[in-house]
Amino acid sequence: MGFKYFPCAQMQPVYKKPNSGPRSGLEKRARAKCPKRPLGEKGLTCHIPIQVYGMRYTTTLWTWGIISLLTLAACQKKTSDDTFITFASRAMQDVLPPMIKTLQAKVDKDGYAASVNFCAGFAGEHGKTKNSEWSEKAAQEIGAKTFRFRRISERNRNPQNTADARQTEILASWQKHGAKPTVYREGSQIFTMHPIKIPMPMCLGCHGDEKSLDKKAVMEIKRLYPNDRATGYKVGDLRGAFLTETTLRD
């Protein structure tokens, strides 16, 4: 690794005129420890040589101050990104599992075809209720002016769930490098995306391939969604994302 720290230079207050030799006993002692310490500094100076990839630099307190500020700024941004990710995870955990449970019960009772319309209706109703619940929470907990969530996919069934260019890019990178919660900003809006995978064979009756699709359900899906692209999946496949959009109070 190319980063080395030479502890030779001490941080010492130096009280003397510019360009004069060491005067005080304090500074003589500092110079004895660190002969390379530059002469003629006023006030508190700290010359710490560092070596980065073979190049040797002398740093001052200013340099370290600026490095600390930049680090602090980077950490703060990360903290707020984490806040949005955590909040969106909680919303997703509250929204999706009950939806799957209700759908499973309906499929068990009435079959896939009868559940297609129910799925759309329930997703809409449940989505509305939960959206207003979570936008109130977002206002209280993360200072949101507006908050909403929805599901998106690059192979969507409902045209309202189409992923835009940026979201399609993120979904494509998840396919290549593995899916992970992601935050991005556009103007005053903060977006989070959490992966939705196909967790169980039940989904395949309406999202699977030729073999696993339910024949009657397919007819119903084609009738309601003539431009459907949401078939051909296997268990474990990335199906899309849980998207949140937040704007913060000024």
CB of 193 to ligand HEC, least distance (A): 12
Work out which of 157, 167, 192, 194 binds ligand HEC, going by CB under 6 A: 157
Tokens of 209: 């391939």
What 214-218 contacts at long range (C-beta under 8 Å, 24+ apart), as own/partner pairs, is: 214/111, 214/112, 214/113, 216/111, 216/112, 216/113, 217/111, 217/112, 217/113, 217/115, 217/116
CB of 179 to ligand HEC, least distance (A): 13
Shortest distance in whole angstroms from residue 75 CB to ligand HEC? 34
| Sole binder of ligand HEC in the list 202, 212, 216, 235 (CB under 6 A) | 202
Q: What is the rounded distance in angstroms from the CA atom of residue 16 to the CA atom of residue 138?
A: 57
Least separation in angstroms between CB 161 and ligand HEC: 4
Closer to ligand HEC by Cβ: residue 117 or 188: 117
d(C-alpha 94, C-alpha 182), whole Å: 19
Q: Which residue among 181, 195, 205, 208 contacts ligand HEC (CB under 6 A)?
A: 205
Q: Does residue 22 sit in helix, strand or coil?
A: coil
Considering the rule CB under 6 A, would residue 161 count as an interface residue with ligand HEC? yes
Contact 236, 157 (CB under 8 A): no
Q: Which of 14, 48, 142, 151 binds ligand HEC (CB under 6 A)?
A: 151
Residue 196 touches ligand HEC, criterion: CB under 6 A: yes
Eight-class DSSP state of 212: T
Site string for ligand HEC, 103-132 (x = CB under 6 A): x---x----x--xx--xx--x---------
What span, in angstroms and rounded, lies between the C-alpha atoms of 3 and 129? 54
Nearer to ligand HEC, 37 or 239 (CB): 239
**Structure letter (DSSP) for residue 235:** T
The nearest distance, CB 242 to ligand HEC, in angstroms, is 8
Q: Which of 238, 245, 249 is nearest to 87 (CA)?
A: 245
Least Cβ distance, residue 153 to ligand HEC (angstroms): 4
Secondary structure percentages of the chain, helix, strand, coil, to 5 = 50, 20, 30
Whether 131 and 189 have beta carbons less than 8 Å apart is answered as no
Q: Is 156 in the site for ligand HEC (CB under 6 A)?
A: yes
- Residue closer to ligand HEC, measured from CB, 113 or 144: 113
CB of 52 to ligand HEC, least distance (A): 47
Torsion over CA of 177, 179, 180 and 184, rounded to 10 degrees? 80
Binding site for ligand HEC (CB under 6 A): 100, 103, 107, 112, 115-116, 119-120, 123, 151, 153, 156-158, 161, 196, 198-200, 202-203, 205-207, 217, 230, 239-240
